[in-house]
């Protein structure tokens, strides 16, 4: 019998969508889910992706198994997108890389790899707060999760001093998991000058940086700009590890396309690392799915599709920035809110960490049919021109 099995808790983020679906109010809004919506509130399949899919069908490719580490043309293009074509370790062929089941799968491979082979300890430092799944993924991989300060409630911005202190105070050679851009859930990123300082201090303590890049291009609309931290750390000589996701920036959520990569010192070291990555993946899922990787590979390797994709990334990022501006404008100018809502426009990427407390969130849900997570995180992608003023009014009413 399975009677001894306790009921597990529902997922904090997916639970919001379930509650939203049950609500029949015409003005209901779902600001929980981290998926892009167009200005009509509909999921958006990128034109570049649709064209790549059409080409894939026309090319009549077979459906044979991929190698354990995935589609080589995909991993090559993905690495170039993240590290930059002029990256030294990339040009020298020193980056070990594998395709992964999107960002989450990349993080899980990272966790398994570090748990087996990181020579110093099993501690991984995560920002407070962080994406809810990070803790679970790394614990499931056998790592011990620790925390570092990241967000300052009083300013709704970066706790730079706290971050630096925690880097200094962590035992030498600790693993630091860092959001490369568009930090989830806060939307708060270090400035380039702050990244420079972080790189220096992390290096000084001998820490190992693992970057999670789930939003390249989504933060600023510029894929190079959003890769600043990665490229700066690499240029400073950190041999980083990196996970990538193509869920958001190519709208390939359900296709599950991502990577895990790690910079090695030599070609020999790279070969050994890749052999171990294969030993991690083979008993988990054998080899990754082919379709999403093909789509990304087609988009990134075809100059016309690539250009169209960059335009669409910018379009998505710009719509989000417009919604931030409108939300703040309505709150301050139309409803005369006495609070500073500058953080709505200072924060970047998919989310706004609004500063709303759990009681206020409860009122938004019950009285205004506006659904979001208890921590006050608003998915800006869920706002549109037609409901941004309604949202501003609701927020104003529960905070006045």
* Interaction site with ligand PMP (CB under 6 A): 34, 102-104, 131, 179, 184, 212, 214, 245, 247, 258
Instruction: Say whether 212 is catalytic.
Output: yes
Q: How far is the CB of 1 from ligand PMP (least distance, A)?
A: 35
Q: Do strands 370-371 and 29-30 pair parallel, antiparallel, or not at all (unpaired)?
A: parallel
Q: How far is the CB of 42 from ligand PMP (least distance, A)?
A: 19
Within 8 A by CB and 6+ apart from 253, the residues are 35, 102, 247
Q: How far is the CB of 228 from ligand PMP (least distance, A)?
A: 17
Q: Which is nearer to ligand PMP, 288 or 332 (CB)?
A: 288
Taking the C-alpha atoms of residue 179 and residue 192, their distance in angstroms, rounded to an integer, is 14
Q: How far is the CB of 313 from ligand PMP (least distance, A)?
A: 16
Taking the C-alpha atoms of residue 326 and residue 283, their distance in angstroms, rounded to an integer, is 49
Q: Which is nearer to ligand PMP, 108 or 319 (CB)?
A: 108
Q: Do strands 241-245 and 208-213 pair parallel, antiparallel, or not at all (unpaired)?
A: parallel
Instruction: Say whether 248 is catalytic.
Output: yes
Q: Which is nearer to ligand PMP, 264 or 379 (CB)?
A: 379
Q: How far is the CB of 63 from ligand PMP (least distance, A)?
A: 23
Q: How far is the CB of 113 from ligand PMP (least distance, A)?
A: 17
Q: Where are the alpha helices (DSSP H) in 72-154?
A: 72-83, 88-91, 102-117, 133-140
Q: How far is the CB of 362 from ligand PMP (least distance, A)?
A: 24
Burial of 123 by CB count in 10 Å (0-12 exposed, 13-18 middle, 19+ buried)?
Answer: middle
In whole angstroms, how far apart are CA 64 and each of 56, 70, 102, 257, 259? Answer: 14, 12, 20, 17, 20
**Crossing angle of helices 192-204/228-235, nearest 10°?**
40
Q: Say if residues 250 and 79 touch (Cβ distance below 8 Å).
A: no
Which residue out of 166, 195, 248, 341 is catalytically annotated?
248
Q: Which is nearer to ligand PMP, 248 or 396 (CB)?
A: 248
Taking the C-alpha atoms of residue 103 and residue 296, their distance in angstroms, rounded to an integer, is 14
The residues pairing with 30 across neighbouring beta strands, listed in sequence order, are: 371
CA geometry: angle 293, 243, 249, nearest 5 deg = 55
Peptide bond into 95 cis (omega under 30): no
CB atoms within 10 A of CB 373: 21
Which residue out of 166, 189, 212, 226 is catalytically annotated?
212
Q: Which is nearer to ligand PMP, 103 or 288 (CB)?
A: 103
Q: Say if residues 192 and 225 touch (Cβ distance below 8 Å).
A: no
214 DSSP assignment: S
Positions marked active-site: 131, 212, 248
């Amino acid at each position: 019998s399975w009677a001894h099995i306790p009921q597990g808790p529902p997922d904090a983020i997916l639970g919001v969508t379930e509650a939203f679906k049950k609500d029949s109010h015409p003005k209901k809004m779902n600001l929980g889910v981290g998926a892009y919506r167009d200005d009509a509130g509909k999921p958006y399949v990128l034109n570049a992706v649709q064209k790549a899919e059409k080409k894939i069908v026309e090319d009549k490719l077979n459906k044979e198994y991929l190698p354990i580490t995935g589609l080589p043309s995909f991993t090559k293009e993905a690495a170039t997108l993240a590290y930059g074509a002029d990256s030294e370790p990339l040009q020298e062929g020193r980056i070990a890389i594998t395709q992964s089941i999107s960002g989450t799968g990349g993080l899980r491979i990272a966790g398994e790899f570090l748990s087996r082979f990181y020579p110093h300890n099993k501690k991984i430092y995560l920002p407070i707060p962080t994406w809810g799944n990070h803790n679970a993924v790394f614990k499931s991989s056998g790592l011990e999760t620790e925390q570092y300060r990241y967000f300052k409630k009083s300013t709704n911005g970066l706790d730079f001093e706290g971050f630096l202190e925690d880097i200094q105070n962590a035992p030498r050679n600790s693993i630091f998991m860092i959001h490369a851009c568009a930090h989830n859930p806060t939307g708060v990123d270090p400035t380039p000058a702050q990244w420079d300082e972080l790189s220096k201090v992390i290096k000084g303590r001998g820490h190992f940086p693992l970057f999670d890049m789930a939003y390249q291009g989504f933060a600023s609309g510029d894929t190079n700009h959003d890769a600043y931290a990665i490229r700066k750390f690499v240029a400073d000589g950190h041999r980083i590890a990196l996970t990538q996701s193509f869920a958001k920036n190519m709208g390939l959520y359900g296709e599950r396309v991502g990577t895990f990569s790690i910079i090695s010192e030599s070609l020999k070291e790279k070969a050994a690392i890749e052999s171990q990555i294969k030993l991690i993946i083979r008993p988990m899922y054998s080899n990754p799915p082919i379709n999403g990787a093909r789509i990304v590979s087609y988009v990134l390797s075809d100059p016309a599709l690539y250009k169209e994709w960059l335009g669409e990334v910018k379009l998505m990022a710009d719509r989000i920035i417009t919604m931030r501006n409108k939300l703040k404008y309505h709150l301050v100018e139309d409803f005369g809110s006495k609070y500073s809502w500058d953080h709505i426009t200072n924060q970047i990427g998919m989310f706004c960490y609004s500063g709303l407390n759990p009681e206020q969130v409860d009122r938004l849900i019950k009285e205004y049919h506006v659904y979001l997570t208890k921590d006050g995180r608003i998915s800006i992608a869920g706002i549109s021109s037609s409901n941004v003023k309604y949202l501003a009014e609701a927020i104003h009413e529960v905070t006045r």
